[in-house]
Amino acid sequence: GENVEQHPSTLSVQEGDSAVIKCTYSDSASNYFPWYKQELGKGPQLIIDIRSNVGEKKDQRIAVTLNKTAKHFSLHITETQPEDSAVYFCAACDKVIFGPGTSLSVIP
Amino acid sequence: EPEVTQTPSHQVTQMGQEVILRCVPISNHLYFYWYRQILGQKVEFLVSFYNNEISEKSEIFDDQFSVERPDGSNFTLKIRSTKLEDSAMYFCASSLDTRIGATQYFGPGTRLLVL
């Protein structure tokens, strides 16, 4: 089955700096890669996704890049704000197989 | 904006007891899912449900687990005889369809503690 790994497990950045979270996957057949944000006490919420037919997608301060050859994809958050602090999960395939999560702390 | 709701938000139970976790998916959605998240670990897929039957389940979803859509709005997860290791956050999700890329909307979760 699909195996998703995610790095780093924790990340602290100064407000205004960029944050990058990286994931790798094992199943070359995977072709859909969503990113979820989980705030304290809440369920995961989809923030951006990418399909295998594109290499990059951007939505305001959030962007995702995909390298199918290397089987890795990354989440980029620019101009981070305190409200970006949360746990971020990458996922692969259609059953939403989650990575282990990255806890992002944005220091004001 | 429509959302998935779950009740209760917290449940404490004794080992060996049965628990039923309830979810109300988004009203026009057709596919329903349960996930669990043990404290400090990743979110794990348990089961998907469509057209009143299980469409897929993980190896975690053993005979102690069952799901049901008893009426047109609720979707439940039952754990027959809870074990200590069932303590986790349980998330329900729903989607309009099951094509790859169909967004799954998650509920806020039920925190289950088995003593």
Cα–Cα distance for residue pair A105/A61, rounded to 1 Å: 16
Q: What average pLDDT score do residues A100-108 get?
A: 86
Cβ atoms of B50 and B99 closer than 8 Å: no
Residue A5 clears pLDDT 70, i.e. is over it: yes
Cβ atoms of B25 and B75 closer than 8 Å: yes
Name residue, tokens 């917290």.
B10
Residue B1 clears pLDDT 70, i.e. is over it: yes
Contacts of B34 in chain A (CB under 8 A): none
Contact at CB, A96 and B45, closer than 8 angstroms = yes
CA distances from B66 to B11, B18, B46, B98, B102 (A): 18, 11, 10, 21, 24
Reported as a single tens digit per residue, the pLDDT across A35-60 is 999 988 788 898 999 887 778 999 99
The whole-number pLDDT of residue A1 equals 67
For residue B52 the two structure tokens come to: 């009143």
CA distances from B108 to A105, B55, B84 (A): 21, 23, 22
Q: Which residues contact B20 (CB under 8 A, 6 or more apart)?
A: B76, B77, B78
Reported as a single tens digit per residue, the pLDDT across B17-33 is 999 999 999 998 989 99
Contacts of B42 in chain A (CB under 8 A): 89, 98-101
B44 touches A: beta carbon within 8 Å = yes
Please, which residues bridge with residue A24 across strands? A5, A72
Q: What average pLDDT score do residues B45-49 get?
A: 93
> Cα distance from A26 to chain B (closest Cα, Å)?
17
Contact at CB, A51 and B101, closer than 8 angstroms = yes
Cα–Cα distance for residue pair B44/B60, rounded to 1 Å: 9
Q: Give percent above pLDDT 90 in chain B.
A: 70
Cis amide bond preceding B8, omega within 30: yes
- Cα separation of the two ends of chain A: 41
- Cα separation of the two ends of chain B: 37
Reported as a single tens digit per residue, the pLDDT across B80-98 is 999 999 999 999 999 887 6
Cβ atoms of B35 and B46 closer than 8 Å: yes
Residue A62 clears pLDDT 90, i.e. is over it: yes
Q: What average pLDDT score do residues A78-86 get?
A: 96
Mean pLDDT of chain A: 89
The whole-number pLDDT of residue A67 equals 92
Residue A79 clears pLDDT 80, i.e. is over it: yes
Nearest Cα residue to A44 out of A93, A91, A77, A107: A91
Q: Which residues contact A99 (CB under 8 A, 6 or more apart)?
A: A4, A5, A6, A23, A89, A90, A91, B42
The whole-number pLDDT of residue A80 equals 95
Res. B102 pLDDT band, cuts 50 70 90: confident
